[in-house]
Structure 1
Amino acid sequence: MSREKQSVVIAGGGSTYTASIVMLLIENQDKFPLRKLRLYDNDAQRQEPIGKACEIIVKERAPEVEFTYTTDPEEGFSDVDFVMAHIRVGGLPMREKDEKIPLKYGVVGQETCGPGGIAYGMRSIPDVIELIDYMEKYSPNAWMLNYSNPAAIVAEATRRLKPDSKIINICDMPVAIKKSLADILGLDSENDIVDRYYGLNHFGWWTEMYDKDGNDLMPQLKEHVKKYGYASANDDITNPLLAEASWNDTFVKAKDLYALDPDTLPNTYLKYYYYPDYVVEHANPNHTRANEVMEHREKNVFEECRRIVENGTAEDTSIVPGEHAEFIVQLASALAYNTNERMLLIVKNNGAISNLDPEYMVEVPCIVSKRGVEPLAMGPVPTFQKGLIEQQVSVERLVVDAYLEKSYQKLWQALTLSKIVPSASVAKELLDDLIEANKDYWPELS
């Protein structure tokens, strides 16, 4: 059966991930055929080399697809079926500040957790809302698949500011973890695992995992995770994340997260909340993850794109389809072709977790079809997880309050409430430092 061709705009066309997403989309046209593919970014200089290289990639590999790149919102968002948004407001230089400023105070410096995530969230809210406005103005029937970080704060902001918009907030971290679990189990794909999971973005737990024949996978996984975390028991690494020392450490650390609650399997980001002292002790305040990205992925991607443009061909390119983006194709296909895919998504609770506020933006398994997203019931969560979730949701809500009210007080409260920050006095020092660093992005607080 032939599938209707789709028109897609990737918002964040200058991202280092864009070329690999383009490659993935054009190589998956049997599942998700394209008629148009467009890049949009408000930074023309950054998007230019990526756009030119992608133009060559598409011409060589999928010449039937109409490809353009632009900085004009009307051109970018007109006649599209899907907006795939992965923007980074302030770029890597601001990520570097998000990570290094907290470390000055002995606090975890991470782009989505604690003070760094709060700072990034304050920058991201207006730009994500702007993208939704463009979509609704120029393509009111389109869906936005948003994987811009920090996804939890962005999701809370869109719930309040755009409650009726066709936006789905998503994250690839559970997919990356499940890839490792599939390797551990000897399964072909993470899609062979049927799971039950509850929590918030970057803040959740698996309670069940079965294969498609209904066999319980948790006993084998727990035995492995108890010893090795989510890393391999040998040197046979297939998950590309684990080739990087910092990510490998994160996946190994899962064994200590598991030890705290052996009834569940944790999201790796919980290490920042369970063991912040460990994270700070092992961090280099002068060289953080942002520096690693700038020195490697950022440098390599732009050099490769310029090489493609200079040679006029991408036949021998080192750019490969982005595995991190596979779930985006799954999600878009489910919405377009009614495939009833089961996926972990960030949605309004509405009873999915029965003992949490229905207004919370939670991350749970959902069924996706042309009707949209339907969360599955996960039942009540235990006291330990419930307490952690309620504290973290309160932080995220206070951040959105602070943005909407331009409130210094609310943002100070958010930082103070964060499990990562040790006291109100440290929170205030951090806040004053972050205000100065973000003066070109945040609203003026009073």
Structure 2
Amino acid sequence: MSSIKIVTIGGGSSYTPELIEGFIKRQHELDIRELWLVDIEDGKEKLEIVGEMAKRMVKAAGLDWDIHLTLDRREALKDADYVTTQFRVGLLDARIRDERIPLSYGMTGQETNGAGGIFKAFRTIPVILGIIEDMKELCPDAWLVNFTNPAGMVTEAAIKVGGWAKTVGLCNVPIGSFKSNHIAMGYEEDSTKLFHKYAGLNHFHWHRVWEPNGKEVTAELIERIYNPERQLDKDISDMKNIHQSPFQYEQVRHLGMLPCGYHRYYYITEQMLNEQLEAYKKHETRAETVKRTEAELFELYKDPALDYKPEQLTKRGGTHYSDAACELIASIHNDKRTEMVVSTQNNGAISDLPYDSIIEVTSVITGHGPEPHNWGSFKPAARGMLQLMKGMEETVIEAAVTGNYDAALHAFTINPLITSGDTAKEMLNVMLVANKDYLPQFKDKIAELEKAGVTFQKDW
């Protein structure tokens, strides 16, 4: 086993202890020589807090890894073998704007869906492309493991625009449904009895499930989870970080597949929006809740006696992201051929989408990267939405890369969670001005909007 250098961009994240824990668990699979945690000036304090905790965790595990904390991305990237990305451009305040501004217009406000997800992509894609330019020079053979949201669009931009084929995107949502389905079928949460086959897009996928004997139990799971007359007496919520409004049983039954938790925003938009609007009035949007939770976590992380991942991190949402990243790296490095759900090149796995598009799909993780399982075609009810969402993603990427306002407006028009028309255009303009510090590609358009009197009111 050759020794490796791993770089984590966004190293000051509250998720970093889980990442360190995941690497420690795999110490016999990964001979880590150096681990670099990278952040920006605005994240310096958090980097130092979580970095010192990471050192304590490694020391407590009896390991001699060299852990470096730096604000110099290029210094960190030199000769890296694996680069993981978990950064948030604009920090949590940008996420709060992403959620609260759309809600002020009566539309869904969410981190990766609707207008908020589009703007997160606008801010993030230019940064990932800049990281790739540095990697081409400093670590041309490294793998890029991305779990920066919106993971699917960021991964697609990295591969198709940045030209970095050795990019894999990760999400924790399939892990949550994997655990819930085992509970629903009477197994332990961490059992691996069931085989899951996922396909679709990041935060917009479906899946089917089989028993070890080859019997498909998708229909049985639909009955156990979604039929109100057969509700189980167990907590089988698939996600802890969004409101658990119940799906409409008849619709899921017609699908014949299990939906992603995020499908709630598209299948039961009214209920989800009403819940968000109530939270908006009380300043309890998910972003605001996360900001408070994160402040509490970093107070814990300051404790010089804390040398393990605290249980409170599970409240942050997104738990299991980092552990999945560690398993992905271990599987590539050792050609383990682990079955994982990742964002990767379609290569014909979903016949309803272009061959070169990026999809989220169950894959075998080999030494040369993911090999996706073939899915085939979706039934019309899912196929139409899938193709619409992929078209929206491609339009968002175009706007993020070029700063083309017309493409940005068209992305808003395509997105099912944005009511198109004059109000949507006004919202787009306000969100551009509100994000002007993080959108250099739209600089000229933002200047034009400000000259025309568009402002960002902070009393929303």
TM-score (ref. length: structure 1):
0.89
Residues in 2 aligned to 1:330 and 1:430: alpha-carbon distance in whole angstroms? 40
Aligned residue runs from structure 1 range 186-225, under 5 A: 186-188=186-188, 189=190, 191-206=192-207, 208-225=208-225
Superposition deviation, residue 405 in structure 1: 2.6
Residues in 1 aligned to 2:405 and 2:386: alpha-carbon distance in whole angstroms? 24
Partner in structure 2 of residue 101 of structure 1: 101
Q: Does 1:259 pair with 2:257?
A: no
Residues in 2 aligned to 1:214 and 1:271: alpha-carbon distance in whole angstroms? 30
Superposition deviation, residue 204 in structure 1: 1.3
Would the aligned equivalents of 2:100 and 2:285 in 1 still touch at CA under 8 Å? yes
Alignment counterpart, residue 296 of structure 2, candidates 281, 295, 300: 300
Residues in 2 aligned to 1:430 and 1:365: alpha-carbon distance in whole angstroms? 37
Where in structure 1 are there 5+ consecutive unaligned residues? none
Superposition deviation, residue 220 in structure 1: 2.8
Alignment counterpart, residue 402 of structure 2, candidates 402, 405, 409: 405
- 1:238-274 CA deviation, whole Å, 9 max, x = no partner? x8x76x5x54x42x52455853634111001111112
Residues in 2 aligned to 1:62 and 1:131: alpha-carbon distance in whole angstroms? 33
Partner in structure 1 of residue 454 of structure 2: none
1:380 aligned counterpart, secondary structure: coil
Residues in 2 aligned to 1:333 and 1:17: alpha-carbon distance in whole angstroms? 19
Would the aligned equivalents of 2:210 and 2:217 in 1 still touch at CA under 8 Å? yes
Residues 103 and 318 of structure 1: CA distance in aligned 2, closer, same or farther (over 3 Å): closer
Counterpart residue type for residue 232 of structure 2: A
Partner in structure 1 of residue 419 of structure 2: 422
1:7 aligned counterpart, secondary structure: strand
- 1:291-334 CA deviation, whole Å, 9 max, x = no partner? 111112x02221011122xx5x5379657796343322221122
Residues in 2 aligned to 1:182 and 1:103: alpha-carbon distance in whole angstroms? 36
Residues in 2 aligned to 1:62 and 1:320: alpha-carbon distance in whole angstroms? 23
Would the aligned equivalents of 2:349 and 2:376 in 1 still touch at CA under 8 Å? yes
Partner in structure 1 of residue 26 of structure 2: 28
2:102 aligned counterpart, secondary structure: helix
Residues in 1 aligned to 2:219 and 2:252: alpha-carbon distance in whole angstroms? 14
- 1:380-423 CA deviation, whole Å, 9 max, x = no partner? 11112221111111111111221233211111111011111122
Residues in 1 aligned to 2:96 and 2:250: alpha-carbon distance in whole angstroms? 26
Q: Does 1:175 pair with 2:175?
A: yes
Kindly tell me the number of residue pairs found equivalent between the two proteins.
432
Q: Which one is further off, 321-330 or 107-116?
A: 321-330
Q: Which one is further off, 191-200 or 101-110?
A: 191-200
Aligned residue runs from structure 1 range 251-400, under 5 A: 253-254=246-247, 256=249, 259=252, 261-283=254-276, 284-285=279-280, 286-296=283-293, 298-308=294-304, 311=305, 314=307, 323-400=320-397
Superposition deviation, residue 236 in structure 1: 5.5
2:67 aligned counterpart, secondary structure: strand
Residues in 2 aligned to 1:262 and 1:407: alpha-carbon distance in whole angstroms? 37
Residues in 1 aligned to 2:250 and 2:295: alpha-carbon distance in whole angstroms? 34
Superposition deviation, residue 369 in structure 1: 0.7
Counterpart residue type for residue 106 of structure 1: G
Residues 223 and 16 of structure 1: CA distance in aligned 2, closer, same or farther (over 3 Å): same
Where in structure 2 are there 5+ consecutive unaligned residues? 446-460
Q: Which one is further off, 103-112 or 327-336?
A: 327-336
Root-mean-square deviation over aligned CA pairs: 2.5
Residues in 2 aligned to 1:90 and 1:257: alpha-carbon distance in whole angstroms? 41
Would the aligned equivalents of 2:21 and 2:308 in 1 still touch at CA under 8 Å? no
Residues in 2 aligned to 1:386 and 1:430: alpha-carbon distance in whole angstroms? 29
1:127 aligned counterpart, secondary structure: helix
Would the aligned equivalents of 2:147 and 2:321 in 1 still touch at CA under 8 Å? no
1:13 aligned counterpart, secondary structure: coil
- 1:15-53 CA deviation, whole Å, 9 max, x = no partner? 111122112211332343423222111232331111122
Counterpart residue type for residue 222 of structure 2: K
Would the aligned equivalents of 1:257 and 1:270 in 2 still touch at CA under 8 Å? no
Would the aligned equivalents of 1:7 and 1:35 in 2 still touch at CA under 8 Å? yes
Residues in 2 aligned to 1:324 and 1:379: alpha-carbon distance in whole angstroms? 27
Residues in 2 aligned to 1:147 and 1:53: alpha-carbon distance in whole angstroms? 22
Counterpart residue type for residue 303 of structure 1: E
Residues in 2 aligned to 1:384 and 1:293: alpha-carbon distance in whole angstroms? 34
Residues 200 and 255 of structure 1: CA distance in aligned 2, closer, same or farther (over 3 Å): same
TM-score (ref. length: structure 2):
0.87
Residues 319 and 82 of structure 1: CA distance in aligned 2, closer, same or farther (over 3 Å): farther
Superposition deviation, residue 224 in structure 1: 0.9
Partner in structure 1 of residue 185 of structure 2: 185
Residues in 2 aligned to 1:426 and 1:260: alpha-carbon distance in whole angstroms? 35
Partner in structure 1 of residue 457 of structure 2: none
1:330 aligned counterpart, secondary structure: helix
Residues 318 and 371 of structure 1: CA distance in aligned 2, closer, same or farther (over 3 Å): closer
Would the aligned equivalents of 2:252 and 2:258 in 1 still touch at CA under 8 Å? no
